[in-house]
Structure 1
Amino acid sequence: MYIGVDLGTSAVKLLLMDGDGTIIKTVSKEYPIFFPQDGWSEQNPSDWLKQSIAGIREISEGYTDKIEGIGVGGQMHGLVCLDENDNVIRPAILWNDGRTEKEVDYLNNTIGKDKLSKYTGNIAFAGFTAPKILWMKANEPENFSKIKKIMLPKDYIVYMFTGISASEYSDAAGMLLLDTEHKCWSKEMIDICGIKEEMLPKLHESYDVVGEVKSSIMSDLGLTGTVKVVAGAGDNAAAAIGTGACGAGKCNLSLGTSGTIFITSDKFAVDDNNSLHSFCHADGGFHLMGCMLSAASCNKWWMDDIIRDTDYAAEQKKMDKIGTNNVYFLPYLMGERSPYNNPRLKAGFMGIRMDTTREDMSLAVLEGVAFGLRDSLEVARSLGIEVTESTICGGGAKSPLWRKIIANVMNLNIMTVENDEGPALGGAILAAVGCGRYKDVIEAKKNIIRYKETITPDAELTARYEERYQNFHEIVKTIIPLY
């Protein structure tokens, strides 16, 4: 049996899977997040470890001698620093922390986006790890001087379980320290950040076994025998494995708090403006990813805070203007990452008239998120990448109406999976591959992933949405100079 771990921002979610891919049970353990200053976001790695241990102990009860491997997926970009005694120097700075505006400006405009793209395949974003290192160097020099090891959140769990400092390419690509195309640490970025390569973990493919759980931790976990630990994956790559988006030419859409479009490739590619992230994939290849900062959170904001109605399904049943709505919603409640990289963009409604109804505006919110995801898909298409179908996951994907809108806005067949466990399932699959149950990720996918439903675009509705998307795009281009 195999355990998949999803080290999220609010909780660690764990999944127990047998060798045939059957999910035996799941467990979730929450931990706090701290906001010590406006725009800051931090967590204590000790909380991750404590709850991961508690979760594995609970989920393995009754199977303590049958666990063969563990795979950890988790939140990306976070900065975890250890001193010479392996003590955490300061709370981890998370992916959604916004303190690095000065450092991002320095990297993109002083060092230069062209150089960053040449070194790493990407440009600087506030969430990435390298700007956080520069912030720590400038603002906490005493702490910076103590650094002996730098790692990502999930890699801290792997280190504490195995005693081996290891990472893998999918998560490391989001640090702005990895030469993504050549899968090695960028010496130029290491120099820019003022660190040493020996501070960084050894790099692996996601399914590589990096070590075994230490005997001292085995007793805490309540496990017996030998348990292997694979390198794991960043959360989006792990979710893609968990939905079967592996091998070239596949796509996965995630409708969570944020929204992502994840497009797989066997070749490294970068768009002209670095509008999409060019990262490595957990299947051994590469992927392009567009990330919009507000997706399902747009609908939550509209329903919970504005119209104050938490019956989402009932609200959606009233929407009868699919494809003919006159109202547009710009989904930039927290600015935007892909494809605009503009934290100052604002949300808004356009096209409101005297006869506009509440249902029109509710529908516009769902459509606006779909249009925002389409923006990133168009960047991928500009590179000659053909996408005809996509899996979909996340809380927003539970809405049949939203899935229908996305299928027609993006002109894609949209498939749902039987087990929407995302990163935790991906982690378990990687563990099964690493332990030799399957020869590779593709074989594991064929044996484990099952699809439940496929939504096919309707030609007439797709044509209507094509016109509306072009209008949406013109509106966005018009308002960008205001911000």
Structure 2
Amino acid sequence: MYIGLDLGTSGLKAVLVDAGQAVLAEASAPLTVSRPQSGWSEQDPSAWIAAADAAMAALGARIDLSAVKAIGLSGQMHGATLLDAEDRVLRPCLLWNDTRASQQAAAMDADPRFRAITGNIVFPGFTAPKVAWVQANEPDIAGRIARVLLPKDYLRLHLTGEAVSEMSDAAGTSWLDVGARDWSDALLDETGLDRSAMPGLVEGSEPSGTLRDALAAKWGLPKGVIVAGGGGDNAATAVGLGVVAAGDGFVSLGTSGVLFAACDAFQPDPATAVHTFCHALPGTWHQMGVILAATDALNWLSRVLDRSPAALTAELGAPTAPGPVTFLPYLGGERTPHNDAAIRGAFTGLEHATDAADLTRAVLDGVAFAFRDCLDALAATGTRLDRLIAAGGGSKSDTWVRTIANALDLPIDLPQAGDFGAAFGAARLAMLAAGADVEMTRPAIAAQVAPDDGLRGAYAEAQERYRATYRDLKGSKT
């Protein structure tokens, strides 16, 4: 048996699979996010340890774990977990959607070496500018930084005692030479760091250490359980979905939104604001268009209207032509294609007759149009996608998936019932690290959602209105 642990933003999920990749049990534990100021997003790393203990206890209560051979880790990317020389946490972790380091990111991005070596823009949410922000604003803490770890790798440190990361997650720090799959000494030096502050690197399918004996006993696991390198959340999701070959892709409707394309070569184009990262398997890479608020945008509207997301979407029925209300989902800035930490969301086209259904439809449309911007950015790099698999909690909304299919003008496959996300992908990587033969099959497809040919013109027109609204909003801020 094998376990996948996925450390997400809102919770930690544990999945147990057998040698045939069948899911035997799963469990989860919730996490909360602190937002001390506008644009800030933090978590206490001790909460990750508590969540892992809770999820594993729940898993062990359902099934005997004494035959587990390996654990794979997945997690939210880009977080800056800062430790002192005794591996004590110095401050709450600055998360992936924390945009306070926009000035530091811009300064780094102005140095042409960062794009040339990493293949990416230095986004405010990446790890390196966050460390630079701490150095500029919290000098007492900065002076004690001895190690910088990504969230899942702090969990790994707790599990194994080893400070190790893997290529897909490390690629989102702005310190990795993504083509060479190694830390860049030149870029580390620009942040006043060196390799001593960085974790070791393995491929996602390689062992990174073994579970501590005391923790194995606590969780009911045998001694010598291997902990695999694992992957960043999106790369692990791709492994779970079998999206590992060039041309394969998925669209993820989670807290953030991702349009993911697997690649068999390193082919960066930073100017598009497309992310070009290592995949979780050796010798492979991937590209992503990333939007910062997907289901997060609907959850925001849910809080404002005091109605559940399910209740809001249930009133909409099948997608129709987009209405007159336009929504820009930039609640905390945006990545692809704008690279704009300061931009904020907006509704336009409101009138006396506008009701909750109109606002909900506009939110679903706005997220779909943001995905279309990502698709066009991927196309500008030369990457083409012919069809996609849906992933993430938002993909359970038939209306939203149909809206996205219409906006992208692409068919979207819906997997049969089951979990093929990041935790499942982490379990697959655990199998590989333990030497098992793993077939990277794609999930059985329950249905394919095709774009509505009769709505193609209406969606194209609404997409242009969406882009014009962004230009107007951006112009009003300059």
Q: TM-score, normalised by structure 2?
A: 0.92
Give distance in 2, aligned partners of 1:354 and 1:148. 58
**Residue among 185, 192, 203 paired with 1:205:** 203
- Indicate the SS of the match to 1:118: helix
For the Cα contact (< 8 Å) 1:393–1:420, is it kept in 2? no
2:166 matched residue in structure 1? 168
1:147 matched residue in structure 2? 145
1:23 matched residue in structure 2? 23
Give distance in 2, aligned partners of 1:311 and 1:90. 33
2:456 matched residue in structure 1? 462
For the Cα contact (< 8 Å) 1:371–1:469, is it kept in 2? yes
Report whether the alignment pairs 1:420 with 2:410: no
Give distance in 2, aligned partners of 1:420 and 1:7. 15
1:437 matched residue in structure 2? 436
2:252 matched residue in structure 1? 254
For the Cα contact (< 8 Å) 1:43–1:92, is it kept in 2? yes
Instruction: Flag the 1:344–1:59 CA change in 2: closer, same or farther, 3 A.
Output: same
Q: Post-superposition shift, 1:32?
A: 4.5
- The residue type paired with residue 261 of structure 2 is I
Give distance in 2, aligned partners of 1:333 and 1:33. 16
- The residue type paired with residue 297 of structure 1 is D
For the Cα contact (< 8 Å) 1:316–1:363, is it kept in 2? no
Give distance in 1, aligned partners of 2:94 and 2:462. 40
Q: Aligned ranges for residues 463-478 of structure 1 at < 5 Å?
A: 463-478=457-472
For the Cα contact (< 8 Å) 1:172–1:178, is it kept in 2? yes
- Write the deviation string for residues 39-65 of structure 1: whole angstroms up to 9, x where unpaired: 433333233123313422431344232
Over aligned residue pairs, what C-alpha RMSD do you find? 2.3
Give distance in 2, aligned partners of 1:230 and 1:11. 21
Give distance in 2, aligned partners of 1:218 and 1:185. 32
For the Cα contact (< 8 Å) 2:256–2:294, is it kept in 1? yes
- The residue type paired with residue 433 of structure 2 is G
Give distance in 1, aligned partners of 2:299 and 2:461. 27
**Residue among 262, 268, 271 paired with 1:270:** 268
Instruction: Flag the 1:400–1:224 CA change in 2: closer, same or farther, 3 A.
Output: same
Give distance in 2, aligned partners of 1:394 and 1:352. 30
Give distance in 2, aligned partners of 1:254 and 1:305. 24
- The residue type paired with residue 8 of structure 2 is G
- The residue type paired with residue 467 of structure 1 is E
**Residue among 121, 126, 130 paired with 1:132:** 130
Further displaced range: 213-222 or 375-384: 213-222
- Indicate the SS of the match to 2:440: helix
Q: Post-superposition shift, 1:272?
A: 5.2
Give distance in 2, aligned partners of 1:85 and 1:330. 45
1:65 matched residue in structure 2? 66
- The residue type paired with residue 307 of structure 2 is D
- Indicate the SS of the match to 2:201: strand
Instruction: Flag the 1:181–1:142 CA change in 2: closer, same or farther, 3 A.
Output: same
Q: Post-superposition shift, 1:396?
A: 1.8
Q: Post-superposition shift, 1:273?
A: 1.3
For the Cα contact (< 8 Å) 1:168–1:231, is it kept in 2? yes
1:359 matched residue in structure 2? 357
For the Cα contact (< 8 Å) 2:120–2:270, is it kept in 1? no
Q: Post-superposition shift, 1:242?
A: 2.1
Instruction: Flag the 1:142–1:311 CA change in 2: closer, same or farther, 3 A.
Output: closer
1:104 matched residue in structure 2? 105
Instruction: Flag the 1:456–1:215 CA change in 2: closer, same or farther, 3 A.
Output: same
Q: Post-superposition shift, 1:80?
A: 1.9
For the Cα contact (< 8 Å) 2:75–2:151, is it kept in 1? yes
1:48 matched residue in structure 2? 48
Give distance in 2, aligned partners of 1:477 and 1:34. 31
For the Cα contact (< 8 Å) 2:409–2:456, is it kept in 1? yes
Instruction: Flag the 1:359–1:233 CA change in 2: closer, same or farther, 3 A.
Output: same
Q: Post-superposition shift, 1:320?
A: 6.8
Instruction: Flag the 1:65–1:319 CA change in 2: closer, same or farther, 3 A.
Output: closer
Instruction: Flag the 1:403–1:190 CA change in 2: closer, same or farther, 3 A.
Output: same
Give distance in 2, aligned partners of 1:37 and 1:366. 27
Report whether the alignment pairs 1:380 with 2:397: no
- The residue type paired with residue 86 of structure 1 is D
Instruction: Flag the 1:65–1:309 CA change in 2: closer, same or farther, 3 A.
Output: closer
2:86 matched residue in structure 1? 85
For the Cα contact (< 8 Å) 1:29–1:55, is it kept in 2? yes
Report whether the alignment pairs 1:300 with 2:299: yes
- The residue type paired with residue 445 of structure 2 is Y
Further displaced range: 194-203 or 76-85: 76-85
Give distance in 2, aligned partners of 1:225 and 1:137. 41
Further displaced range: 353-362 or 277-286: 353-362
Instruction: Flag the 1:192–1:407 CA change in 2: closer, same or farther, 3 A.
Output: same
- Indicate the SS of the match to 2:308: coil
Q: Post-superposition shift, 1:365?
A: 1.9
For the Cα contact (< 8 Å) 1:319–1:363, is it kept in 2? no
- Write the deviation string for residues 316-364 of structure 1: whole angstroms up to 9, x where unpaired: 4445771253332222222222110112323233344566565344322
For the Cα contact (< 8 Å) 1:417–1:453, is it kept in 2? yes
Give distance in 2, aligned partners of 1:362 and 1:36. 28
Give distance in 2, aligned partners of 1:359 and 1:240. 33
Q: Post-superposition shift, 1:139?
A: 3.1
Instruction: Flag the 1:379–1:274 CA change in 2: closer, same or farther, 3 A.
Output: closer
Instruction: Flag the 1:476–1:83 CA change in 2: closer, same or farther, 3 A.
Output: closer
Give distance in 2, aligned partners of 1:60 and 1:302. 37
Report whether the alignment pairs 1:232 with 2:236: no
Give distance in 2, aligned partners of 1:152 and 1:366. 31
Give distance in 1, aligned partners of 2:297 and 2:404. 15
1:341 matched residue in structure 2? 339
For the Cα contact (< 8 Å) 1:16–1:60, is it kept in 2? no
For the Cα contact (< 8 Å) 2:168–2:278, is it kept in 1? yes
Aligned residues: 474
For the Cα contact (< 8 Å) 2:317–2:399, is it kept in 1? no
- Indicate the SS of the match to 2:252: strand
Further displaced range: 152-161 or 450-459: 450-459
Q: Post-superposition shift, 1:274?
A: 4.1
For the Cα contact (< 8 Å) 1:259–1:295, is it kept in 2? yes
- The residue type paired with residue 254 of structure 2 is G
- Write the deviation string for residues 211-249 of structure 1: whole angstroms up to 9, x where unpaired: 211223222222124311101111121122222322111
